[in-house]
Amino acid sequence: MNTVSWQDFNLQEYVEKVSLEDFGLAFTNQAYWNNRLRTTGGRFFPKDFHLDFNPKIYEKFDLNVFRGIVRHELCHYHLYKAGKGYQHVDRDFKNLLKAVDGLRYTPTYDRQQTPISSQHKYICTKCGQRYVRKRRINTIKYVCGKCRGRLKEI
């Protein structure tokens, strides 16, 4: 939805700008795109203070939505550096997020679903319980969770 592709968008500069404008504090660490993020808009890493952002959110929504996600991650960042409650359940986090008008949740979008053909289907030979999994199960090692019977791929 944005005119500039995420590869050409200067994420670092944008996060620094949002931090100064909305929090009045400098963002002095690194911001990265992370293609592996699926269900979240971004992540904060307390170990080295860097932020990851989901480029699919930037592509599919307007800049206001993306700015809300940047604000959300910056709330984690600034609260952690200040020694305050930076987790989602903490009152400090909720108050700051509301004050800067950040997004509480990532908006949903159509994610690519795993095709049915790539799912593995199993049946218990004892009770008939069926299982569908994305990954293969070692049928020698694992048994039915209901009756402990042997599993067979169908």
Residues assigned a catalytic role: 73
What DSSP string runs through 15-53? HHHHIIIIISS---S-EEE-TT--S-SEEE-TTT--EEE
| Both structure tokens of 110 | 């159509």
Query: Residue 90 and residue 49: Cα distance in Å, rounded?
Result: 19
| Position 136, amino acid | R
Cβ contacts of 45 within 8 Å, gap of 6 or more: 51, 52
Residue entry with tokens 């971004």 = 42
